Structure 1
């Protein structure tokens, strides 16, 4: 590839009540609020030196405006734009200064219909990694990955691997060798994005990295003490796929957040993707517990980059004869 996508960088979510959202993300989970006003909240993890990794925008209905990737140079942006234009995808350029704290950005609707954003420049701020006096809740450190439901996983996989230069760490196949889910990355861990077979396009979750499993447990205790027990959807537990310790939460608008720790390095050029069989239940939870039905069926609506309207969803290409056991 003649461009460099570095990592998953930020999510832009629409929420209906900024004050409720701030209480959840800042007080319960431990995000740092970089800036906030009547229309948006910009949050980051304690480790992050950039202005934000999560934007919550006030809106009438919950939705996903964009999931974003940081790229190395301005030239990379132009080259990535050319790839999507060649595919016939919608593209939209946003000039520097039109989005708070962000440089020039490219918005695209990828071949699955997901609203992506690419940028190279964001305002930097103080890293608070060693400000232990500010640690609270789950002590969120940094953004890690996105997980999406798409109707054709093979189509998404082929585009991201062959056109955008992602690499696969783990994948799920059925007994006929059909691809049901894939975990792919640019940074050297298990994934920056995953694709699962399901009604889509929809954003299943955005995941944030924690220091250790005890931060996750502490987050559960704080959530319960603040009255957010019902927000805990699944876990804490360990995934078989990725080996990560996890907790899934639903924010006040139903957006799913994963707290995540403990996967592994994938930087070696001879690393071979790990295959999981669709019938192996250890993939979803290594300890054996199955996820609730809502985890498989519910996800966040994604928006058209031009009109701001809800993107139409489609049934999965592969027949849903059983729950998808995935991360």
Structure 2
């Protein structure tokens, strides 16, 4: 690393900044149906988090003429890592923009830059851990809000899944070499070309996934964001809540990759897909070797291990497209 005494590191996924073409519908969905707590509203931007999230926000929503993801925030392990990443990224030819403290509410100094696909990432360290007001505060000192206060009520943000028309291997290489992500699982198409990858900086199977598909109209689309539920019973409860709200969804089912259970549901305001996510496995081995799935293996067990896969197994390819479509 040259003159640097240590390699800068990303600690975890921090937040997603959503712009919605129908703000009221998005707020109704995320606040009331999903049950995220609103921290505050500043200059038309609504800041939300799950009941177990400690930082000021894990999702922000503001109105726009169209819907899109403005940026995805990642917290570094050390305050000085932000500047170190900036230096390394610039030396490697990445254009970096500095975000001054307070420019994003409750957040300290940060940098923003784009992946080769055009997805905009933000790196920061300082973020206020805003306490909940007394009416919503948990009696548990190690928890922010009362759990199960409303809606689906996920515990925390979990991961993001980026969709792109860009070369998958190139984005994965950038995430690995520039940002320190580790490749955990991936699958290839019938021509043995890598088209989907799951990477992490934590013990999770993925903090970020990359899906490359010709169905993407742009190289920097979002497939979904995910919030975590504690167990499978919570996921079944979520299905009931979504049915009562007359919201269509895909699932419940279980992925082979990650071994996690899921429900996919779309925000009616922005069209953003949300995955409600639970179970799965953790990775502790320092010498983990990325797991490769062939196209046939992925169709059979990788995406929908059970749940949404067709009972007669006639058209698994169509089912995979259903799970991956925009």
Aligned to 1:115: 120
Aligned to 2:313: none
Greater shift in the superposed pair: 50-59 or 288-297:
288-297
**Shift in Å at residue 41 of structure 1?**
1.2
**Shift in Å at residue 219 of structure 1?**
1.6
Aligned pairs for 1:6-155 within 5 A: 6-36=11-41, 39-126=44-131, 128=138, 129=143, 132=146, 134-150=148-164, 151-155=166-170
Give a deviation string over 1:187-237, Cα, whole Å, max 9, x none.
Answer: 111011111122322111111111112222212211221232x3x1x2110
What secondary structure sits across from 1:84 in the alignment?
helix
Give a deviation string over 1:13-44, Cα, whole Å, max 9, x none.
Answer: 00123322221111111111111356121111
Aligned to 1:194: 209
State the structure with bigger RCO (CA 8 A, min sep 6), 1 or 2.
1
Aligned to 2:196: 181
The alignment's C-alpha RMSD in Å is 2.0
Task: Give unmatched runs, 5+ long, in structure 1.
Answer: 299-327
> Within 1, Cα distance between the matches of 2:62 and 2:7?
34
Give a deviation string over 1:167-189, Cα, whole Å, max 9, x none.
Answer: 11111124554212110100111
Task: Give unmatched runs, 5+ long, in structure 2.
Answer: 1-5, 133-137, 311-315
TM-score, normalization by structure 2? 0.85
Aligned to 1:317: none
Query: Does the 8 A contact of 2:33 with 2:245 survive in 1?
Result: yes
State which of 239, 255, 271 in structure 1 corresponds to 2:255. Answer: 239
Matched residues, number? 295
Query: Does the 8 A contact of 2:54 with 2:129 survive in 1?
Result: yes
Aligned to 2:187: 172
State which of 303, 307, 326 in structure 2 corresponds to 1:284. Answer: 303
205 and 197 in structure 1: CA distance in 2 versus 1, 3 angstrom threshold: same
> Within 1, Cα distance between the matches of 2:146 and 2:121?
34
Query: Does the 8 A contact of 2:204 with 2:282 survive in 1?
Result: yes
Query: Does the 8 A contact of 1:148 with 1:196 survive in 2?
Result: yes
> Within 2, Cα distance between the matches of 1:279 and 1:99?
45
What secondary structure sits across from 1:163 in the alignment?
helix
**Shift in Å at residue 156 of structure 1?**
0.7
TM-score, normalization by structure 1? 0.84
292 and 40 in structure 1: CA distance in 2 versus 1, 3 angstrom threshold: farther
